[in-house]
Amino acid sequence: MADYATVTDIINLKRPLTSAEQTRASNLIPVVCDAIRYEAQKVGKDMDALIAADTVLASVAKAVTVDMVMRELNTSGNQLPATQYSESAGGISQSYTLPNASGSINLWPSDKKRLGLARQQIGTLDMRGV
């Protein structure tokens, strides 16, 4: 089971990384890839087999892996788990929206959709028997 992206991919696709970020990214990549594999298993798919058979999906998996690692790298470890906050000083105020405030490593719904893992659910409720 190979990883879907490398630290070099992150540098080439996003931005240069400090040596500390490179170390963190190299530790995050296998965790992110396993998270993708797990989400695929939950919908009955073998992501590694799918990627081996489809080079386009391999590129998409690389992009999703890079995006997930970057979300984690861009989240500082000392922030509160909030999605938005604001600061004011005198007549100046600044508001922030944090993309991954809790620092959790999760696939966003958009990531699942890009990988073909989004589930569509169809259901009905028969009200006649109630």
Strand positions, DSSP E, the chain: 84-89, 92-97
pTM (2 d.p.): 0.74
pLDDT score for 82: 54
CA distance 35 to 45: 13
Domain definitions of the chain by residue range: 7-119
Could you read off the pLDDT of 18-75 as tens digits, one per residue? 999 999 999 999 999 999 999 999 999 999 999 999 999 999 999 999 999 998 888 7
CA distance 7 to 22: 6
Closest CA to 7 of 19, 28, 22, 18: 22
pLDDT score for 74: 80
Whether residue 36 contacts residue 4, with contact meaning beta carbons closer than 8 Å, is answered with: yes
Residue 92 or 5, more confident = 5
pLDDT score for 73: 86
For residue 119, give every residue at least 6 positions away whose Cβ sits within 8 Å of its Cβ, in sequence order, or none: 43
